[in-house]
Structure 1
Amino acid sequence: MTITSGPVTEVAAAELQRLLDAQRAAQAADPIPDAATRRDRIDRLVAAVLEHSQELAGALEADFGSRPTTTSMEIDILGALQSIAFTREHFEEWMQPTEVPGGLGGVIPTTVQHRPKGVVGVIGPWNFPIVLVFAPAVEALAAGNRVMIKFSDMAPRTGEVFARAVASRMRPEEVVVVGGGLQTATAFSDLRFDHIFFTGSPKVGRLVAAAAGKNLVPVTLELGGKNPAIVAPDADIAGAALRIAGGRMLNNGQVCLSPDYAFVPEASKDAFIDAYKQAILTFFPTFIDNPDVVSIVNDANYARVTGLIDDAKAQGATEIVIVPDEEKDRLPAPDSRRLPPTLLVDVPTDAKVHDEEIFGPVLVLHTYANVDDAIGYAAAGEHPLSSYWYGGDTDDFRRFVLNTTSGAVSRNDFALAYSNDEAPFGGAGMSGSGAYHGKAGFDTFSHHRPIAQSDLPDALIPNLVPPITAERVAGVEAMAVGATAAAVARIKAREG
């Protein structure tokens, strides 16, 4: 199938507002959809994507230039199904009001209602453009919302197919997909949604958060970062190298969870390099014409990543390109945007590769004499989306978990925390805010409203307004004295 795409067509701000108004009006007519309605919407959205799966995979290959259909099916199309099944199984339970202990010593019965926020805007990235809008959209539907999706303009063919697929099963007042470029994205971010969910870079995330802030729209930011991989003194070097290489080379490194740099013991440097090279060549025995290779998505990103390599080399770093010898003079290949697997060793501290997420098939390798130096390095940087530890569940590992902050930690494999729908997934600081997956996603897209009731014969509020009697003054003073004494006593008790 040949898929063509012309220039990106912007969507006018007035049209975006019309779509939002239509969804808001539909939500007002059914503000808390029942479980059957929510399940029907989820099932229709899933069917829409699956019925167009082959066309979507073809569009993804056209947008990237080279991307195996199997990769697109495994991750972008089928990759969300397990999480969706989990949400579909449990959301009715999550919908139910939650009883909490009564207020004022139990005399005010209180329940928490989990109601939809209303209309959710989902802004997706280009690296996995389907699954990273598909999965949050399902969780928003499970919470009872309507959804508007802004598809990445860097995958325009896929966006066209995805919009058509969604429209084949979903009414626009339920879920609607828009394309467009920067102009559309800016207008989309300016809309007064009830929640915005953004996946992408910290640079763009700042802009989305600033635009949403003008309207006081809550935002979930799923970003990235400089993800560390520390190979512990007790680690199996070959096993760690294999797993780090796999995490680095998934989607040719264009993954927000990929390790950006690795620390290995000084004595294991050469062994790690040899094992890493062997792992890469096992994955890609050839590269230049290998149909399993994913291209860098566009010329701008190709130039950005090659620029990081060139800057590091200019400052004295050693570049190790890991392809068969007969291909080394043919790579990198700008015309096909085939950037080969690369190790950067002995990289100076001022190199630009330390300052931004690589998002390509490049790993920076550091060594350490003391593992605490590696832990300290990871702790000193901006908080990454994921941190990796290769080695045993030792005191070193527990010190690493204690002293570093990241969205998640995985030990001895890639993205383990991401795959567990019982756990929230999200970043920290520069790698994001908020979380989704399973109940965390349901909670993100819900407003948790306490409903407190009183059947007491006497009202409470008169006790807080004038006249302020002598008895009230004495009561407040006595309460303050008693509370202060209790706080000081607790401190003294701990001090012995």
Structure 2
Amino acid sequence: MTIAASHDAATEHISREELQRMVAAQRAAFLREGPPSAETRRRRIDRLMLAVLEAADDLAEALNQDYGTRPVGLTKLFDLMAWVGDAKETRDNLEKWMRSIPLDGPVPAVIDQKPKGVVGVMGAWNFPITLTIQPAFAALGAGNRVIMKFPEFHRRTGKVFRDAVARYFGEDEVAVVVGDLRTAQAFSELQLDHLVLTGSPAVGRAVAAAAGKNLVPLTLELGGKNPVVVADDVDLDLAAHRVAIGRMMNSGQVCLCPDYVFVPRGQHDLFVAKLEGAFRRAFPSYLDNPGVVSIVNGRNYDRIVALIDDAVAKGATKVQIATPTEADQLPSRESRLIPPTILVDVPENATISSEEIFGPVIAVYPYDDVAEVVSYINARPTPLGAYWYGEDTDDFRNFLHRTNSGGVTRNDTFAHQAVAGAPFGGVGGSGYGAYHGKVGFDEFTHRRTVASPVDERSFVDGTIGAVVGSSEVEAGIDQAIAAEIADIRGRLGG
């Protein structure tokens, strides 16, 4: 097992002035070039793909060291291949997406698709490559310049990523910033044309406040406590297995991981037993298991352990999945490993009931009626994902109709964010805006209406009577208002 002794060492600081210089260079280059052609955009996407994929081995090893321990295969699959399909869809559809859109109406007009200018991306530490680079592909496809702030927790990976990108791009086209927390704070205050952040709701609020001072439009992909509902018609073995695997992805350090599970009261104990069995089959050992991912740093390790301890102190029961020989050694702060942990009988006043866990811990609650579950979810901030295990029944349809979330997956975990071309993003407490596919292109595009009246009288000429108070024009307006009122009353039945 590899644990980096200097994991928490500070990354370098990039000054506010240097960041402003980089943005100014990109904006000047953008204005000189004007909206780039589809071919130029395609070549930028291809160059960025090539830069990162050529460095795949170095990036995977660097991230393994930055985390402490993280399987190279996991990084290559989720950080170095997960975005490829989305990037290729963007590059292959640019001509179609870039076309002006004609509008029907009395005044001939089109919607012009304009790049915004300079787009900033602030990635997240849990999947630092994917969550930094995937919005960048959408921004490049929309014709923008891009400056990326790599997550400060991963200084080794950030430097490999920065150097890889610099081999294919000048900083006035695509740039990577590797800096500390103060650098991130300064980055959020830049005069950008759009800013994307993936992070926690607390960080999202801080970045939104900073960006708001410059009226910078935002895309926020935040986390949330993602619920799972197990229906009474479910295959419990299937549900337990998939919930367990979903919870343990990246040791639970995923914004879409299930945080808590509602199970019919009569099946609650059996589900907990099956969930424990699923965890044990997936992790027959833990301390020296090459498939285990360590908690990213000491601060987050301490936070997760404190959430467990607080819940137990307030009455919850803890089921820790560890072998007898490992039980006394886990959790381990030295290796930053926390074994799969199930919490039952969690009281409402436990901190874990309201705080996103972001670790290998899951709470299980009994329920008697789906209406209880709907009320519980709706009383809390809107989650990024929601999961239902069971058939496509009236109860499921009611759940869809009465709750809201960034996305929904039935009988699996994470699947809604992997659907090609489908929007991915949050709502309410889990963020706003979305990207992936055409939605990502639209997110970083300004849609500008261009009107071209061709009648002898212009639009202004046609309204001059209302402006100067013509009695004849005013009478006509009053008649139009009366006609609309009559029409609406007719539709309303009175």
Q: TM-score range by the shorter chain?
A: over 0.9
Deviates more, 1:435-444 or 1:91-100: 91-100
Distance 2:450 2:470 in 1: 32
Cα distance per residue 1:247-269 (max 9 Å; x no partner): 10000000000000001111112
Distance 1:163 1:225 in 2: 30
Distance 2:333 2:169 in 1: 40
Cα distance per residue 1:47-80 (max 9 Å; x no partner): 1101111110111111110100001111011111
Tell whether the 8 Å contact from 1:342 to 1:363 is kept in structure 2 after alignment: yes
Alignment-mate amino acid for residue 20 of structure 2? Q
Q: Is 1:488 matched with 2:484?
A: no
Equivalent in 90, 96, 101 of residue 98 of structure 1: 101
Equivalent in 85, 90, 93 of residue 87 of structure 1: 90
1:23-172 equivalent positions in 2, closer than 5 A: 23-102=26-105, 104=106, 108-172=107-171
Does the residue aligned with 2:258 lie in a helix, a strand or coil? coil
Q: Compared with structure 1, are the counterparts of its residues 2 and 254 closer, same or farther at alpha carbon in structure 2 (3 Å cutoff)?
A: closer
Distance 2:67 2:357 in 1: 17
Q: Is 1:473 matched with 2:468?
A: no
Alignment-mate amino acid for residue 472 of structure 1? V
Give how far 1:92 is off. Answer: 2.3
Question: Which residue is equivalent to 2:232?
Answer: 233
Structure 2: segments with no counterpart, 5+ residues: none
Does the residue aligned with 2:103 lie in a helix, a strand or coil? strand
Cα distance per residue 1:231-252 (max 9 Å; x no partner): 0011111110111111100000
Give how far 1:183 is off. Answer: 1.4
Distance 2:367 2:377 in 1: 12
Deviates more, 1:439-448 or 1:89-98: 89-98
Tell whether the 8 Å contact from 1:109 to 1:454 is kept in structure 2 after alignment: yes
Does the residue aligned with 2:456 lie in a helix, a strand or coil? coil
Q: Is 1:15 matched with 2:18?
A: yes
Distance 2:355 2:12 in 1: 30
Tell whether the 8 Å contact from 1:125 to 1:152 is kept in structure 2 after alignment: yes
Alignment-mate amino acid for residue 86 of structure 2? S
Give how far 1:81 is off. Answer: 0.9
Once superposed, what is the RMSD of the aligned Cα atoms? 1.5
Deviates more, 1:266-275 or 1:145-154: 266-275
Distance 1:114 1:147 in 2: 18
Give how far 1:346 is off. Answer: 0.3
Distance 1:2 1:176 in 2: 30
Tell whether the 8 Å contact from 1:151 to 1:179 is kept in structure 2 after alignment: yes
Question: Which residue is equivalent to 2:428?
Answer: 429
Give how far 1:282 is off. Answer: 1.8
Does the residue aligned with 2:73 lie in a helix, a strand or coil? helix
Distance 1:348 1:460 in 2: 64
Distance 2:183 2:423 in 1: 30
Tell whether the 8 Å contact from 2:408 to 2:416 is kept in structure 1 after alignment: yes
Question: Which residue is equivalent to 2:199?
Answer: 200
Tell whether the 8 Å contact from 1:317 to 1:345 is kept in structure 2 after alignment: yes
Alignment-mate amino acid for residue 246 of structure 2? G
Question: Which residue is equivalent to 2:259?
Answer: 260
Q: Compared with structure 1, are the counterparts of its residues 2 and 301 closer, same or farther at alpha carbon in structure 2 (3 Å cutoff)?
A: closer
Deviates more, 1:279-288 or 1:426-435: 279-288
Alignment-mate amino acid for residue 24 of structure 1? R
Question: Which residue is equivalent to 1:392?
Answer: 391
Q: Compared with structure 1, are the counterparts of its residues 310 and 332 closer, same or farther at alpha carbon in structure 2 (3 Å cutoff)?
A: same
Does the residue aligned with 1:326 lie in a helix, a strand or coil? coil
Tell whether the 8 Å contact from 2:388 to 2:409 is kept in structure 1 after alignment: yes
Moved over 4 A (4+): 1-6
Distance 1:35 1:335 in 2: 51
Question: Which residue is equivalent to 2:278?
Answer: 279
Alignment-mate amino acid for residue 379 of structure 2? A
Distance 2:58 2:432 in 1: 34
Does the residue aligned with 1:153 lie in a helix, a strand or coil? coil
Distance 1:431 1:288 in 2: 33
Does the residue aligned with 1:32 lie in a helix, a strand or coil? coil
Tell whether the 8 Å contact from 2:453 to 2:459 is kept in structure 1 after alignment: no
Give how far 1:2 is off. Answer: 12
TM-score (norm 1): 0.96
Distance 1:389 1:135 in 2: 27
Q: Compared with structure 1, are the counterparts of its residues 470 and 271 closer, same or farther at alpha carbon in structure 2 (3 Å cutoff)?
A: same
Does the residue aligned with 2:228 lie in a helix, a strand or coil? strand
Tell whether the 8 Å contact from 2:86 to 2:421 is kept in structure 1 after alignment: no
Tell whether the 8 Å contact from 2:230 to 2:389 is kept in structure 1 after alignment: yes
Alignment-mate amino acid for residue 73 of structure 2? T
Question: Which residue is equivalent to 1:315?
Answer: 314
Does the residue aligned with 1:383 lie in a helix, a strand or coil? coil
Structure 1: segments with no counterpart, 5+ residues: none
1:239-254 equivalent positions in 2, closer than 5 A: 239-254=238-253
Alignment-mate amino acid for residue 271 of structure 1? L
Q: Is 1:414 matched with 2:408?
A: no
Tell whether the 8 Å contact from 1:262 to 1:364 is kept in structure 2 after alignment: yes
1:294-443 equivalent positions in 2, closer than 5 A: 294-443=293-442
Tell whether the 8 Å contact from 1:91 to 1:439 is kept in structure 2 after alignment: no
Give how far 1:326 is off. Answer: 2.0
Distance 1:24 1:50 in 2: 27
Give how far 1:371 is off. Answer: 2.5
Tell whether the 8 Å contact from 1:31 to 1:118 is kept in structure 2 after alignment: no
Give how far 1:463 is off. Answer: 3.4
Cα distance per residue 1:255-297 (max 9 Å; x no partner): 0000000011111122211211121122111101111100000
Does the residue aligned with 2:337 lie in a helix, a strand or coil? coil
Give how far 1:467 is off. Answer: 2.8
Alignment-mate amino acid for residue 74 of structure 1? L
Give how far 1:422 is off. Answer: 2.2
Does the residue aligned with 1:122 lie in a helix, a strand or coil? strand
Alignment-mate amino acid for residue 205 of structure 1? G
Give how far 1:381 is off. Answer: 1.4
Distance 1:130 1:210 in 2: 25
Give how far 1:175 is off. Answer: 0.8
Q: How many matched pairs?
A: 489
Cα distance per residue 1:394-426 (max 9 Å; x no partner): 000000001101000100001111011221111
